[in-house]
């Protein structure tokens, strides 16, 4: 007799024993089938159920110079101005970035499901960094010597928030070329949104990333330059061509280094067809890429996306040529043009 022990016996043995007249095994087999069916039905309901959509509400938390997130909520959506310049800037800039993605691409917040936008400011002491941790953004005040107030910089906020967008679209793996692409997309939307925020056209834009978070004492003008990678400061080693590709292991195999190569190509493409057409091509490409995509995958996808958008008259009919030419100039010629 099987009794409860039948549950750990493989189904084909249960089936054979049931065929031979074992009632207990037959019952167990039937129960197992019903449980599996119920599980599948529950799973189907779960998958079919419409997700609860949020509104992309903003929440700004003051970390009070501790190395902890969400210490004190200082401002939320439609809340009063706090008087803390950093808090109010983080609120305004994260709203600008959210609205840009919504109005330009129809994206409902970071995840297209209205995810709350959470900013942590005044993180730690002398903390020279900003990061996206998979759920929310966190900004340091800088050490005051070389870096200052990361949360107040529109390009930094757009860069970090774009990491979230990338996570929910292509989820590019954060190492080597896919990681450099992850960084590249954040710089792309960082610079595009900065130009929109400052009402700049191509001739006025500086194409710098993080120029407002470096102090006068800092040996350089910014963290990175999309126009001229490798020239933003004394430590800037970003290449602007595949000939100088970084093959080392530091920085997750150069995610902040090799992003200079596609960054330069983006800048060159913008000169040819304008920043709005490029932003659309890059956004649609991000939707089509996958976790392990490399530079060549990116170029092929960009060209394919540009061709489709141009044929729908949504962008310039010179886009395919412009993107191909720009990437060829940095040593990444498309295989099919």
Partner 1 sequence: MHYKIKITGGFVGFARTYEGETDISLTQLKALQRISKSNLRDKKVFRDGQQYNLTLTDNEQVYTLEFTEQEIPQDLMNLISSLKGG
Binding residues for partner 1, per CB under 8 A? 66-69, 124-135, 143, 147, 150, 156, 159-160, 163, 167, 174, 182, 186, 210, 223-224, 233, 235-237, 250-252, 256-257
Nearer to partner 1 (CB atom), residue 115 or residue 319 = 115
**Residue 95 burial (CB count, 10 A):** 16
Nearer to partner 1 (CB atom), residue 28 or residue 253 = 253
Nearer to partner 1 (CB atom), residue 232 or residue 310 = 232
Closest CB 150 distance from partner 1, rounded Å: 7
Closest CB 34 distance from partner 1, rounded Å: 36
d(CA 120, CA 132): 10
CA quadruple 276, 281, 282, 284: dihedral sign: positive
Q: Which of 122, 136, 160, 163 is catalytic?
A: 160
Angle at 313 between CA 310 and CA 315, to 5 degrees: 60
* Contact between residue 64 and residue 74 where contact means Cβ atoms under 8 Å apart: no
Closest CB 2 distance from partner 1, rounded Å: 42
DSSP 71: S
DSSP 276: H
Respond yes or no: is residue 256 known to be catalytic.
yes
Closest CB 30 distance from partner 1, rounded Å: 40
Closest CB 278 distance from partner 1, rounded Å: 22
- DSSP code per residue over 159-201: HHHHHHHHHHHT---SSHHHHHHHHHHHHHHHHHHHHHHTT--
Closest CB 135 distance from partner 1, rounded Å: 7
Closest CA to 107 of 158, 169, 51, 154: 169
Nearer to partner 1 (CB atom), residue 220 or residue 320 = 220
Strand partners, 60: 75, 119
d(CA 136, CA 207): 26
**Residue 72 burial (CB count, 10 A):** 10
User: Which helix (H) or strand (E) is 74 found in, with range?
Assistant: strand 72-76
Nearer to partner 1 (CB atom), residue 204 or residue 216 = 216
Nearer to partner 1 (CB atom), residue 56 or residue 164 = 164
Q: Which of 159, 163, 256, 284 is catalytic?
A: 256
Respond yes or no: is residue 184 known to be catalytic.
no
Strand partners, 208: 225
User: Annotated active-site positions, please?
Assistant: 160, 256
């Amino acid at each position: 007799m099987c009794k409860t022990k039948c549950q750990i016996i493989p189904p084909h043995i249960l089936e054979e024993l049931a065929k031979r007249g074992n009632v207990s095994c037959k019952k167990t087999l039937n129960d197992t089938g019903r449980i599996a069916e119920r599980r599948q039905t529950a799973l189907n309901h779960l998958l079919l159920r419409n997700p609860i959509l949020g509104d992309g509400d903003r929440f700004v938390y003051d970390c009070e110079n501790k190395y902890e997130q969400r210490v004190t909520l200082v401002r939320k959506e439609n809340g009063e101005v706090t008087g803390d310049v950093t808090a109010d800037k983080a609120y305004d800039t994260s709203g600008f970035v959210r609205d840009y993605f919504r109005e330009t691409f129809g994206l409902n917040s970071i995840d297209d499901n209205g995810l709350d936008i959470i900013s942590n400011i005044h993180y730690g002491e002398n903390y020279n960094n900003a990061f996206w941790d998979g759920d929310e953004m966190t900004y340091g005040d800088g050490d005051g010597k070389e870096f200052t107030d990361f949360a107040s910089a529109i390009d930094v906020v757009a860069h970090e928030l774009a990491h979230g967008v990338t996570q929910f679209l292509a989820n590019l793996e954060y190492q080597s070329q896919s990681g450099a692409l992850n960084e590249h997309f954040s710089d792309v939307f960082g610079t595009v949104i900065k130009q929109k925020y400052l009402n700049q056209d191509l001739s006025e834009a500086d194409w710098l990333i993080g120029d407002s978070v470096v102090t006068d004492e800092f040996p350089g003008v910014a963290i990175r330059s999309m126009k001229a990678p490798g020239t933003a400061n004394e430590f800037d080693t970003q290449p602007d061509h595949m000939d100088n590709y970084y093959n080392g292991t530091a920085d997750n195999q150069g995610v902040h280094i090799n992003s200079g190569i596609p960054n330069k190509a983006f800048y060159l493409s913008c000169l040819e067809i304008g920043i709005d057409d490029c932003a659309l091509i890059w956004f649609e490409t991000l939707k089509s890429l996958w976790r392990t995509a490399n530079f060549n995958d990116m170029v092929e996808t960009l060209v394919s996306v540009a061709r489709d958008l141009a044929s729908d008259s949504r962008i310039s009919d010179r886009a395919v040529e412009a993107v191909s030419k720009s990437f060829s100039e940095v040593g990444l010629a498309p295989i099919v043009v």
